[in-house]
A and B are shown apart, each in its own frame.
Chain A
Amino acid sequence: MNAPNRLVLFTLAIVLTLAGCATPRPAPTLYEQFGAEPGLAALVDDLLERFADDPRVGVKFANTNIPRFRRLFIEHLCQIMDGPCTYTGDRLEEAHRGLSIDEGTFNAVVEHLIDAMDAQRIPTRAQNRLIAKLAAMRKDVIYK
Chain B
Amino acid sequence: MTTPISLLRTVALLAACVSVMPDVALADRGRLLATGGATQLEGAAGGGLVPWAVLSGYATRDGYGATAYATRVEVDDYALDSGGVAFTARNRIEVSIARQRFHLGTLGDALGMPGATISQDIVGAKLRLAGDAIYTPWPQLSLGVQHKKNRDFGVPSAVGARDDHGTDVYLAATKVFLGGAGGYNLLVNGTLRSTEANQLGILGFGGDRGGRRVVGEASVAVLVDPSLAFGVEYRQKPDHLAFAREDAFRDVFVAWFPNKHLAAVAAWADLGSVATLDDQRGWYLSLQASL
Interface residues of A (CB under 8 A from B): 3-4, 7, 10-11, 14-15, 18-22, 102-105, 107-108, 110-111, 114, 124-126, 128-129, 131-132, 135-136, 138-139
Given the interface pairs A10-B232, A11-B232, A114-B226, the reply to whether A125 lies near B135 with Cβ below 8 Å is no
- Bound together, the chains give a CA A20 to CA B33 distance in angstroms of 28
Chain B residue nearest to A110 in the complex (CB): B32
Q: Please give the distance in Å from A19's CB to the nearest CB on chain B.
A: 7
Can you list 20 residue pairs at the A/B interface with Cβ under 8 Å? A3-B236, A3-B248, A18-B186, A18-B222, A19-B182, A21-B182, A21-B183, A22-B181, A22-B182, A22-B183, A102-B60, A103-B31, A107-B60, A110-B32, A124-B224, A128-B179, A129-B178, A129-B183, A135-B178, A138-B135
1/0 contact trace for B123-142 toward A, CB 8 Å?
00000000000110100000
**Nearest chain B CB to A140 CB, angstrom units:** 12
B186 x A135 contact (CB < 8 A): no
| A104 CB to nearest B CB, Å | 3
Q: Which residue of the partner chain, among B62, B218, B226, contacts A104 with CB atoms under 8 Å? A: B62
Given contacts A14-B220, A18-B181, 19 further A-B contacts (CB under 8 A): A3-B234, A4-B216, A4-B236, A10-B232, A18-B222, A22-B183, A102-B60, A103-B30, A104-B30, A104-B62, A107-B30, A110-B32, A111-B32, A125-B182, A125-B184, A128-B183, A129-B178, A131-B178, A136-B137
The closest CB in chain A to the CB of B224 belongs to: A124
| Residue in A7, A22, A131 with the greatest tally of chain B CB atoms within 10 Å | A7
Bound together, the chains give a CA A28 to CA B178 distance in angstroms of 19
**A114: chain B residues within 8 A (beta carbon):** 226
B163 lies within 8 A of chain A by Cβ: no
Shortest Cβ distance from residue A64 to the other chain B in the assembled complex, whole angstroms: 22
Contact between A4 and B234, CB atoms less than 8 A apart:
yes
Distance of A18 Cα from B186 Cα, bound (Å): 10
Q: How far is the CA of A112 from the CA of B155 in the complex (A)?
A: 55
Residues of B within 8 A of A (CB-CB), count:
35
Q: What is the interface of chain B mostly: helix, strand, loop, or mixed?
A: loop
B positions within 8 Å CB-CB of A: 28-33, 60-63, 134-135, 137, 178-186, 216, 218, 220, 222, 224-226, 232, 234, 236, 247-248, 250
Known: A124-B225, A138-B135. A11 touches B220 (CB 8 A): yes
Residues of the B chain whose Cβ atoms lie less than 8 Å from the Cβ of A105: 30
A48 to chain B: closest CB distance in Å? 21
A103 to chain B: which residues have CB within 8 Å? 30-31, 60-62
- The distance from the CB of A105 to the nearest CB of chain B, in whole angstroms, is 8
Contact of B179 with A108 in the complex, beta carbons under 8 Å: no
| Contact status of A104 and B60, CB under 8 A, knowing A7-B218, A124-B224, A124-B225 | yes
